[in-house]
Amino acid sequence: MSTQVPASDSAAVPGAGRNRPASRWVEPLLLLGPAGLWLVLLLVLPTLIILELSLVPGIKPGGIVNPVLTQFPNYAQIFDPIFVSVIGRSLLFAIGVTLICIVFGFPVAYWIAVMSPKQWRNLLLLGFILPLWTSSLLRSYAWITILRPTGVLNTVLKALRLPELDLLNTGILDFLKFLPNSAGWATPIIDSWVNLSLAVFIGMSYSLLPYMVLILYASLEKLDLRLLEAASDLGASPKQTFWKVTVPQTLPGIAAASLLVFITGLGDFVDPELLGGVSSMTAARLIYNQFLGATQNWGFGSALSMVLIMAVSVAIALLIKYGGDSAEV
Amino acid sequence: MRSGTSQSRSDQVGIYTWANYADETLIEGFTTQTGIRVLPQDKFPDNETMLARVLTGGGAAYSVISPSDYMVKKMMQSKLLQKLDHSRLNGLDTLLERYRSPDYDPDNRHSIPISWGTTGLIYNPEKLPDGPKDWSYLWDNKEKLSKKMTLLSDVREVMGATLRMLGYSYNSTSPKELEQAYNKLKELKPYVATFTTDTWQDQIVSGDLWLAMGYSIDAFSVISSQPNLKYVIPKSGTSLWTDTMVIPTSSPNISGAYAWLNYLLQPSIAAQYKRLNIASPNQAVLDQLSSDYRESPILFPPEALIKASEGIALVGDFSKVYDDFWTRLTSGS
């Protein structure tokens, strides 16, 4: 049972598109033209320039651009294990933060959209996205104040006679050392780059949660509650209703929100640097160093940028695959 | 933003400088004295960002820029700076001896030094009664300092300090020496809380950190508000930095630029230097200031330590090797 709007006439009537008179193109052109032009000039063209720069070995600012198509030294450099770990770190942060935001954001959005009293909805939503009105840099600094050894968190824990935590220096895999017989295999994992900083996950999830909630709310608001009633009438348990009715209906919203959080998380280098301790180099910061650092290796920086763009393109492709279709029950 | 074309308007001047080098009071003083308006001061966080902006044409609005020593040399090589006409400047003859003809710009042909400083260690003597005397203190006491010390977030400063401790130069271009320095840093890394240029300030005051690597200018302001902290310059020497003022070739108001430079060279605005915590390289300015400023060992360390220190210079293509070691160090593999 699809609740989508039926397909437009031009598909239902074959050949209609081909015979449109020229004047019918004026309206779409006028409406989409400015945005299209903006996209081409400010998105497509710069991306093509980055692509061109990435094909020139060792280009420096002011150098002559001579793209080479036979070998790709800028790209080959990326396969050096250090850089692989840097890109891996960025991807893991982005994916991890996206998952955390879905897990924490969906219940909040569901409650606001479906279960809270109607007259309070806008206020609740406003309250939740209020942090977005402050500078994101300030919010990251605030997390340092909360999580540092003599910070707010530990002051509260001390007052409650609980053990204090040093969350700024904890990795997400540190708990492995508490497992029995772990000394041999756990230590290399804890020391490797995969043991990402917990504080960064906290800081980044906090910053990106409002976006997740906002977009999920927009999707959940359109949820037809009668479908949920119908499902339970037909004998579905609440769990079955959730997974077989609610989630498929809101999948486009989940996909869109996840994409936004993923892309933003991938490009964030402020949180890893402020909260991530000594091993905090991310792909975004690496690119920054190539362009604005001492090496001025624009070719390598461009190649890295293209890799990030490709990662994002894969994410968008997944969005189209899982989020674009009309919901099927 | 800016109305009309700001090209060659003789009544305003644009400056591009570090965040704490010019503020309202300083600018108002200038306008009162000369009648020239200062366009909202633009700030940059580091030299490379400034260079990137100037190279991509964004520097055309500025009449005066404040690059650091090594950046002056780089900009000179890229022909971005105007040659200074010393006859239009007053006060150059009272510069301290070592600033009359610095390495990065012989005879100050393209730049004037405006402030200088060092990099050192700020520590809490209550927690560390046997305070550090040299960089090696960090390695010798790493367990005690575990996660209670920070290093600067700058590859040249951190690698340079380690090279210095090993007896080499801050500007080494020997892969073997750099490898040694890198291995030493890898040894220290598990005990370092983080690499940061400014977040250490709050944390050393609150007690979260016991030791931080920082610039003298930041140390001076932190210690002014928290006098029980101490700043020490390591015995084996440290990096000596100088910030300057230059006039770019694209400067739209050259006479305005000279007016600004002369304004800052005047001894009478010496008090402003004190307020902004800047160590002046100009003897005439120093003479005007109180002894607690002049004799502050933080801002003006003893000659012996200055002689042991060196300025960070360009290393050309070798900066890629430094960068690679830095990426490896901050990647946790």
Give all domains of chain B, ordered by start, each with its CATH number: 12-116+241-296 (3.40.190.10), 117-239+306-314 (3.40.190.10)
Nearest to A278 among B46, B192, B199 (CB): B192
Nearest residue in chain B measured CA to CA from A58? B317
pTM, to two decimals: 0.81
Q: How far is A86 from chain B (nearest CA, A)?
A: 6
Q: How far apart are CA B116 and CA B114, in angstroms?
A: 7
Q: How far apart are CA B214 and CA B201, in angstroms?
A: 9
Total residues belonging to chain B: 333
Look at A87-91, A209-213, B327-331 and tell me which has the smallest mean pLDDT: B327-331
Query: What pairing do the DSSP bridges indicate for beta strands B111-123 and B211-215?
Result: antiparallel
Look at A97-101, A170-174, B205-209, B213-217 and tell me which has the smallest mean pLDDT: A170-174
Q: What is the phi-psi region of residue A56: left when phi exceeds 0, alpha when psi lies from -120 to 50, beta otherwise?
A: beta
Instruction: List C-alpha distances in Å: B203 to A272, B52, B214.
Output: 18, 32, 13
pLDDT of residue A150: 86
Q: Indicate the pLDDT class of residue B297, thresholds 50, 70 and 90.
A: confident
Nearest to B331 among A86, A274, A291 (CB): A86
Q: Indicate the pLDDT class of residue A328, thresholds 50, 70 and 90.
A: very low
Distance of CA B176 to the CA centre of its chain: 28
Q: What is the phi-psi region of residue B8: left when phi exceeds 0, alpha when psi lies from -120 to 50, beta otherwise?
A: left
Q: CB B331 to CB A141 under 8 A?
A: no
pLDDT above 70 covers what percent of chain A?
91
Query: What DSSP line would sit under A104-170, residue for residue?
Result: HHHHHHHIIIIIS-GGGHHHHHHHHHGGGGS-HHHHHHHHHHHHSTTSHHHHHHHHTTPPP--GGG-
Burial A185-217 (b: 16+ CB within 10 A, else e): ebeeeeeebbbbbbbbbbbbbbbbbbbbbbbbb
Q: Which residues pair with B37 in a beta bridge?
A: B12
Backbone angles phi, psi at B234, to 5 degrees: -55, 140
pLDDT of residue A327: 40
Query: What DSSP line would sit under B246-285, residue for residue?
Result: E-BTT-S-HHHHHHHHHHHH-GGGHHHHHHTTPPPSBHHH
Q: CB B330 to CB A82 under 8 A?
A: no
Q: How far is B160 from chain A (nearest CA, A)?
A: 15
Q: CB B328 to CB A82 under 8 A?
A: yes
- The answer to whether A75 and A54 are in contact (CB under 8 A) is yes
Q: Convert the pLDDT of each residue in B125-176 to its tens digit.
A: 999 988 899 999 999 999 999 989 999 988 889 999 999 999 999 999 999 9
Q: What is the CA radius of gyration of chain B?
A: 20
Distance of CA A188 to the CA centre of its chain: 29
For A71-132+198-323, CATH gives 1.10.3720.10
Q: Convert the pLDDT of each residue in B24-59 to its tens digit.
A: 788 888 888 888 888 867 787 778 778 878 877 777
Q: How far apart are CA B293 and CA B315, in angstroms?
A: 35
Residue A13 has pLDDT above 80, yes or no: no
Nearest residue in chain B measured CA to CA from A286? B327
Mean pLDDT score of chain A, rounded to an integer?
84
pLDDT of residue A181: 77
Q: Indicate the pLDDT class of residue A19, thresholds 50, 70 and 90.
A: low
pLDDT of residue B2: 41
Q: CB A81 to CB B333 under 8 A?
A: yes
Q: Looking up tokens 């007016």, which residue turns up?
A: B259
Q: Which of B80, B170, B319, B330 to mutate to test the interface with A (most CBs of A within 10 A)?
A: B330
Cβ of residue A170 closer than 8 Å to a chain B Cβ: no
Q: How far apart are CA A61 and CA B28, in angstroms?
A: 37
Q: How far apart are CA A170 and CA A195, in angstroms?
A: 9
Query: What pairing do the DSSP bridges indicate for beta strands B37-38 and B111-123?
Result: unpaired
Q: How far apart are CA A32 and CA B61, in angstroms?
A: 36
Q: Please indicate whether residue A3 or residue A23 has the higher confidence score (pLDDT).
A: A23
- The angle formed by the CA atoms of residues A153, A159 and A161, to the nearest 5 degrees, is 105
